[in-house]
């Protein structure tokens, strides 16, 4: 059985890893973009991005100064019996990661804007728990920056508007322009409920970004005909991947959420037994 201390340690190390190293799938997508792009300014930006990733990994420093909000996904095996508060352990891990990685203290009260300085607060870190089969505890951290999060959108479409989903996604990306640090990853949640589709959109971003189905590729190709380019200064690669997750919804609704993720799609996972 995992202990309190192990969970704290794991959370600290996962944040360190996510903040300083990108996954191979993300790096592969960025390199491919650099090879395919022919706009000179966009290539200069992609080159800076790739150099930045190398420096961050080598020096073990955060890739981006916006170390994001601490978002944690937990898969809790139903056979596990924890004799401590998992929430407390994750919170302590975030406080320590803020000190040790370090992370920028980003979490503030929404109205007073007061900053407690440790990334802890009301419903923060955001912890999402799924109960799964087995005896494993899987922890995934996904530090999410504000630049891309601010450009995300949700719309309650009509059930008759299935054919308008693509248009909505492309329009959200168009309106975001250069603000979310393109080339971006586009997480799309279709169905479920108002809140459920937003969660699906975020979860989609955890997937391997090099594997897309036909529907996702179709949206990606449409987005890449907009011409926004890296950092919004023009170019043919605006998005690196479109990742869609679906959930059953009410027969009378069609919620669609678009969660934009900057090129630094940071996430890291570990399994404890």
Partner 1 sequence: MEIKTPISAEIVQKLRVGDIVYITGEMLTARDKAHLRALEWIKSGKKLPVSFNNSVIYHCGPLVKKVGDEWKVISAGPTTSARMNASTKELLKFVDSIVIVGKGGMDIAEELKGKGVYLAYTGGAGALAANAIKRVKDVHWLDLGMPEAIWVLEVEKFGPCIVAIDSHGNSLYDDVKRKVEENFRKLLDEL
Measured in whole angstroms, the distance separating CA 30 from the mean position of its chain's CA atoms is: 16
Is 125 one of the binding residues for partner 1 (CB under 8 A)? no
Q: What is the DSSP letter of 3?
A: -
Interface segment toward partner 1; rule CB under 8 A; list 40-48, 86-94, 126-134, 153-161: 40-48
> What is residue 144's three-state secondary structure?
strand
Interface segment toward partner 1; rule CB under 8 A; list 59-67, 68-76, 154-162, 189-197: 59-67
Among 136, 138, 155, 179, contact with partner 1 (rule: CB under 8 A): 179
> Cβ of residue 98: shortest distance to partner 1, in angstroms?
10
> Cβ of residue 176: shortest distance to partner 1, in angstroms?
9
Q: Are 261 and 148 in contact (CB under 8 A)?
A: yes
> What is residue 243's three-state secondary structure?
strand
Is 216 one of the binding residues for partner 1 (CB under 8 A)? no
Q: Would you state the torsion angle of the CA atoms of residues 107, 109, 113, 116, taken in this order, to the nearest 10 degrees?
A: -60
Is 45 one of the binding residues for partner 1 (CB under 8 A)? yes
Among 82, 226, 246, 270, contact with partner 1 (rule: CB under 8 A): 226
Is 162 one of the binding residues for partner 1 (CB under 8 A)? no
Is 263 one of the binding residues for partner 1 (CB under 8 A)? yes
Is 109 one of the binding residues for partner 1 (CB under 8 A)? no
246 by Cβ neighbours in 10 Å (0-12 / 13-18 / 19+) ranks as middle
Please give the Cα distance from 270 to 141 (Å, whole number): 9
Give the pair of three-digit tokens for residue 144. Answer: 């999410």
Q: In which residue are the tokens 């589709």 written?
A: 197
Q: Which is nearer to partner 1, 192 or 238 (CB)?
A: 238
Is 260 one of the binding residues for partner 1 (CB under 8 A)? no
Interface segment toward partner 1; rule CB under 8 A; list 122-130, 171-179, 194-202, 244-252: 171-179
Please give the Cα distance from 188 to 245 (Å, whole number): 6
Give the pair of three-digit tokens for residue 80. Answer: 């596990």
Q: Are 140 and 72 in contact (CB under 8 A)?
A: yes
Per CB under 8 A, residues contacting partner 1 are: 41, 44-45, 48-49, 51-52, 55-56, 59, 61-67, 102-106, 108, 113, 115, 117, 145-147, 150, 164, 166-167, 170-171, 174, 177-181, 222, 225-229, 231-234, 262-264
């Amino acid at each position: 059985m995992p202990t309190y201390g192990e969970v704290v340690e794991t959370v600290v190390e996962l944040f360190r890893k996510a903040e300083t190293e990108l996954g191979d799938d993300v790096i592969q997508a960025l390199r491919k973009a650099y090879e395919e792009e022919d706009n000179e300014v966009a290539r200069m930006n992609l080159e800076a991005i790739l150099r930045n990733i190398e420096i961050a990994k080598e020096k073990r420093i955060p890739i981006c100064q916006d170390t994001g909000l601490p978002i944690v996904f937990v898969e809790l095996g139903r056979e596990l019996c924890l004799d401590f508060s998992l929430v407390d352990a994750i919170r302590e891990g975030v406080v320590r990661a803020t000190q040790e990685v370090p992370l920028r203290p980003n979490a503030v009260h929404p109205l007073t804007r007061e900053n407690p300085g440790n990334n802890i607060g009301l419903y923060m870190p955001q912890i999402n728990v799924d109960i799964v089969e087995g005896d494993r505890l899987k922890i995934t951290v996904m530090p999410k920056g504000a630049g891309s999060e601010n450009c995300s959108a949700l719309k309650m479409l009509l059930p008759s508007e299935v054919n308008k989903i693509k248009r909505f996604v492309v329009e959200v990306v168009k309106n975001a322009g250069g603000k979310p640090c393109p080339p971006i990853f586009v997480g799309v949640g279709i169905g479920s409920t108002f809140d459920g589709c937003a969660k699906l959109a975020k979860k989609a971003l955890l997937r391997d970004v090099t594997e897309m189905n036909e529907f996702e590729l179709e949206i990606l190709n449409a987005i890449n005909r907009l011409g926004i380019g890296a950092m919004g200064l023009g170019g043919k690669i605006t998005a690196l991947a479109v990742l869609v997750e679906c959930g059953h919804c009410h027969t009378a609704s069609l919620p669609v959420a678009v969660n934009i993720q900057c090129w630094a799609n940071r996430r890291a996972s570990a399994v404890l037994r």
